Amino acid sequence: MNLRPVPAPGGVAGRTSVNLRQEYIPDGKWPAKKLRLVPVSLRPELVRPARLACMKALMITSPSGLDALTIQDTAEPTLKPGQTLVRVAAGGLNFADVMTTHDGYPGTPAPPLIAGREFAGTEQSGKESSGRRVMGYIQWGAFAEKVAAYPNLLWTVPDHWTDEQAAAFPVNYFTAYLAYWQAGMTSQPMWGQPPLRQAQGRLSAVGRREAPHRVLIHAVAGGVGTAAVQIGHILGVEMFGTSSSEEKLARVKELGLQHGINYKQHDYEEAVKDLTHGEGVDAAFEMLGGEHTAKSLRCLRDFGRVIQYGSATGKPPQLDVRALYAKSASIQGLWLTYISQKREIIEPAWNQLSEWIAQRKLTPVVGQVFPLERAVEAYKLLQEGKNYGKVVLKISG
């Protein structure tokens, strides 16, 4: 990793041109519209490099993969109206961070930019710390000593959690919760979709106990996967989870996973068929893409739902829509970047999640912690699928 300090943006004396930088506008519109070009004045009389406060940050300098990651000294963020400054203690690494170093990520500007989408730290007011420990979600800029964040995507860290646990919360738990929500399995109603049992025509007769919902969770030992198992356990769901490793599956079973499927040894479609006596699952949480979208659809029972939220294989999801007819099945997209701008969804989701946290039913699974200086190793672990649970970067404190 290149540790060479570079001048802070805007701190180069003698330039008189106007620089343009891309900026994310969280307005709830489609991401392409969220990028606007913002002029940054570099006139020497307006910019006093000596006075710019500097911070350490993990930068993505070009879209060339992990080699483009470098720690640099850069200017501290300037707060926009409504924003809060947070001194960052730890950052949660996501698969989206790996993707950003390669081909970029929708809604994220082209390099150079500061990496990182989620963090935990302490709120600052002026030069003082307010003392409130927070965890937050943004689109980039989290892997730095300081980050500017909007309060609607900042949540108070539970007292009994470490900074590393808090940094592992926002993306994994909101994504996993929203997957159950879109599958019709939470008490929070889903717009335009009947609750699952009603859709399946399986409304229980008074006093009759229903069989639990069934869910297939891919990458069950990963960040989102382990969060989905903890939430599924609370919801009383029968879970079928895939992983490449027996060791990882054994660890997830301790969280409540009932059926582990090692896809290196068994075809998961066949395994689901056998384990459910040919009935299939009510929902599949699908983040692999390629042929796995159609394969996961074949794992569904009537009126089942594929919740598509990624394509870790790098291949676009393949699906013949006609295959949906046979089971009246549906496929539902889930993208936290987009949904996070919808307060009417995120607030009730947080209300439910925080209730479970207070009851000590949710604890983020932190698999590995790396100091910021070893960020490339952390990214590599995730890129190669060798992580268990969340990979966290220790940033300061």
Q: Which residues bind ligand NAP (CB under 6 A)?
A: 94-96, 171, 175, 219, 221-225, 243-245, 248, 287-288, 309-310, 312-313, 334-336, 382, 385, 387
- How many other β-carbons are positioned within 10 Å of the β-carbon of residue 358? 11
**Two tokens at 127?**
């030069």
Quick one: how many helices (H) and strands (E) in the chain?
A: 11, 18
| Comparison of 86 and 99: residue with beta carbon closer to ligand NAP | 99
Is the Cα dihedral 117, 190, 334, 217 positive or negative?
positive
| Comparison of 28 and 236: residue with beta carbon closer to ligand NAP | 28
Residue 222 to residue 310: CA distance in whole angstroms: 13
- Count CA atoms closer than 13 A to 343's CA, side-chain side: 7
Q: How far is the CB of 263 from ligand NAP (least distance, A)?
A: 7
Q: How far is the CB of 153 from ligand NAP (least distance, A)?
A: 13
Q: How far is the CB of 182 from ligand NAP (least distance, A)?
A: 11
- How many other β-carbons are positioned within 10 Å of the β-carbon of residue 337? 19
Residue 240 to residue 282: CA distance in whole angstroms: 11
Q: How far is the CB of 23 from ligand NAP (least distance, A)?
A: 21
| Comparison of 109 and 389: residue with beta carbon closer to ligand NAP | 389
| Comparison of 161 and 388: residue with beta carbon closer to ligand NAP | 388
Q: How far is the CB of 378 from ligand NAP (least distance, A)?
A: 11
Q: How far is the CB of 372 from ligand NAP (least distance, A)?
A: 18
Residue 248: what residue type? K
| Comparison of 146 and 218: residue with beta carbon closer to ligand NAP | 218
**Pair 376, 101: CB distance under 8 Å:** no
| Comparison of 70 and 94: residue with beta carbon closer to ligand NAP | 94
Residue 223 to residue 367: CA distance in whole angstroms: 9
